[in-house]
Amino acid sequence: MVNNKCMLFTCRVTAMQLDLNLLTALDALLEEGSVTGAAARLHVTAPAMSRSLGRIRKATGDQILVRTGRTMVPTTRALAMHAQVHALVQQAHQLLSARQELDLTTLDRVFTLRWHDALTAACGTALLTAVHRQAPGVRLRLPAEPGTDDAELRRGEVDLESSSGPPTLPDIRHRLLGTDRLVVAVRAGHPLAEGPPSVERYAAADHLTVSRRGSLRDPVDDALATRGLQRRVVAAGPTAAFALQLAHDTDLVVTLPDAVTRTARERLGLTTLPVPLPLPGIPLHLLWHQRYDEDRAHAWLRDLATATVRALFAPADAPRTTAGRTGR
């Protein structure tokens, strides 16, 4: 009799687990809109996700996703249940996740931070030092920034991303770290540094832009155009570090964010000048996926990263925030 009860209990647990797995698969399918995308998100093979879709179709009596040309689109019923399915999956994961105290001394985890190269150069050392001091078992991946790809955040391939704007997707969280301003950097003794530069002298100089895609135009050109002026951009560099080095070695003028390039400019001995025309500030946001909202290790890292980056925006005569102290 005891054995029969155990077998019945096991069957019920297995059925519950199966239902939750299907619900998670359904959520991924509705979020991604494709079998391939859902498979990548849940780290399973495409055939396994196809089988899950078949079981979901059998259980619901609905096709869920139907092919239109080369893409798949959700059915009317799938659209109607999308929000509720997502909410149920989030609630189930929170309910079943044990909330344990975070022990940084034993934490063994790899985090991936996709940040702008200038931001990594400005505070990467401070962040790495603070992370290693508090959690020696944590490792950071700081890959070269390939461009914004919210899908990588959603798939969990990137933990924290820097951005000049807030996210457009509702499941991507963000935090404003500060607002930077543009400044002009030139070599010591550059003709432009002889007295406050007028907008005309600024426009007449030879310029360098910073663009991963090699663009020879940026918002500065739009601001000059409103005054009937046009500058001559002779080169585009892929990183701020390359642009600053080129400005040091030549008479090229580079206009770039102040706070995140201050240390690099000072190290090269460059002269910093104000931009002689009004330009809007440049916000800096920290982005992450909502799946990490209740992840204590992730919360620790993003708070540490927040404190480290915000220190860049502190006034020069103000005490800098210690990277080990969190801030919001």
Instruction: Give the tens place of pLDDT for each residue, 144-169.
Output: 765 555 678 888 889 999 999 888 88
Q: Are residues 8 and 92 in the same domain?
A: yes
Above 80 in pLDDT, residue 111? Answer: yes
Q: What pLDDT score was predicted for residue 147?
A: 52
- Whether 102 maps to a domain, the answer reads no
Q: Are residues 141 and 220 in the same domain?
A: no
Q: Are residues 156 and 288 in the same domain?
A: yes
Q: Are residues 254 and 138 in the same domain?
A: no
The Cα 54–Cα 32 span in angstroms is 17
Burial 296-322 (b: 16+ CB within 10 A, else e): ebbebbbebbbbbbbbbbeeeeeeebe
Spatial contact of 255 and 118, defined as CB atoms under 8 Å apart:
no
- Give the list of residues 6+ apart from residue 314 with CB closer than 8 angstroms, or none: 320, 321
Write phi, then psi, for 325 (nearest 5 degrees).
-105, 135
What integer is the mean pLDDT of 120-130?
A: 95
Question: pTM for this structure?
Answer: 0.66
- Whether 320 maps to a domain, the answer reads no
- Whether 301 maps to a domain, the answer reads yes
Q: Are residues 47 and 61 in the same domain?
A: yes
Lookup result for tokens 């150069």: 121
- Whether 260 maps to a domain, the answer reads yes
Q: What pLDDT score was predicted for residue 146?
A: 57
Give the pLDDT band (50/70/90) at residue 118.
Answer: very high
The Cα 123–Cα 130 span in angstroms is 11
Q: What pLDDT score was predicted for residue 227?
A: 95
Lookup result for tokens 């409103």: 226
Range of the domain at 47: 2-96
Give the pLDDT band (50/70/90) at residue 20.
Answer: confident
Lookup result for tokens 């297995």: 14
- Whether 326 maps to a domain, the answer reads no
- Whether 125 maps to a domain, the answer reads yes
CATH of the domain at 291: 3.40.190.10
Q: Are residues 187 and 252 in the same domain?
A: yes
What integer is the mean pLDDT of 96-124?
A: 86
Number of folded domains that form the chain: 3
Spatial contact of 240 and 210, defined as CB atoms under 8 Å apart:
yes
CATH of the domain at 61: 1.10.10.10
Q: What pLDDT score was predicted for residue 31?
A: 86
Alpha helix (H) residue ranges in the chain: 2-32, 35-42, 46-60, 76-96, 117-134, 150-154, 199-204, 219-225, 240-249, 262-268, 296-310
Q: Are residues 287 and 269 in the same domain?
A: no
Q: Are residues 26 and 70 in the same domain?
A: yes
- Give the list of residues 6+ apart from residue 317 with CB closer than 8 angstroms, or none: none
Supply 305's token pair.
Answer: 């990263």
Lookup result for tokens 């080990």: 324
Q: Are residues 235 and 260 in the same domain?
A: yes
Burial (CB count <10 Å: 0-12, 13-18, 19+), residue 10: exposed
